[in-house]
């Protein structure tokens, strides 16, 4: 998604607890708007998915992190608007905290007034607190500084999460995590 940030591979070598603590501190330091609300729950989940898989159901505007044993963490998300949705399988190929953002060509074409780059941590940066880039296209699972957009059909194909939720997911996943997007 044209993200310019620093990969934080060292976080992947820490325990989950330390990663979650680091993510919580980053959230406190980086969000422009308070987002104490989180849209995540542990729910029953069936399907032939391995633990650690991310499943996005765009019609339900939900992202599931599969725990196994018939359970998943469910997050409410914003998804692609009409004509911008996609389905298929991808892998997480990048993890970024406070990423800078460069609008892709189709976004820039529709919104020529956007700058060529928005610094990480800026309140106007649409990536929010963290981004998980995907191996397919210019897409990412990312936070947002516009929490009112969560639960809607709002993006150019990216999956938008509350900043607190993307940091929680960030602490759970690693490079190569499978992401399956369905209707």
For 146-171, what is each residue's pLDDT tens digit? 999 999 999 999 999 999 999 999 99
The catalytic position among 158, 161, 173, 181 is 158
Nearest residue to 91 via CA among 40, 144, 132, 125: 132
* Pair 156, 104: CB distance under 8 Å: yes
Q: Is 16 a catalytic residue?
A: no
What pTM did the predictor assign? 0.78
The catalytic position among 74, 95, 142, 160 is 142
Q: Is 165 a catalytic residue?
A: no
| Cα 90 off chain centre by | 13
Q: Name the fold adopted by 3-182.
A: L,D-transpeptidase catalytic domain-like (2.40.440)
For 78-129, what is each residue's pLDDT tens digit? 999 999 999 999 999 999 999 998 988 889 999 999 989 988 888 888 999 9
């Amino acid at each position: 998604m044209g993200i310019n940030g620093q990969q934080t591979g060292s976080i992947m070598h820490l325990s989950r607890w330390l990663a979650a603590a680091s993510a919580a501190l980053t959230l406190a330091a980086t969000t422009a708007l308070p987002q104490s609300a989180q849209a995540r729950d542990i729910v029953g989940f069936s399907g032939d998915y391995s633990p650690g898989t991310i499943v996005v159901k765009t019609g339900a505007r939900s992202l599931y992190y599969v725990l196994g044993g018939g359970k998943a963490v469910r997050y409410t998300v914003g998804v692609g608007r009409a004509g911008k949705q996609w389905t298929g399988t991808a892998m997480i190929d990048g993890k970024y905290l406070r990423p800078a953002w460069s609008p892709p060509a189709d976004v820039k074409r529709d919104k020529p007034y956007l700058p060529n780059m928005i610094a990480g941590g800026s309140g106007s940066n649409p990536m929010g607190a963290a981004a998980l880039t995907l191996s397919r296209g210019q897409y990412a699972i990312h936070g947002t500084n516009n929490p009112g957009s969560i639960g809607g059909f709002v993006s150019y194909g990216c999956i938008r999460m509350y900043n607190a939720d993307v940091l929680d997911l960030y602490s759970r996943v690693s490079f190569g995590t499978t992401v399956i997007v369905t209707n």
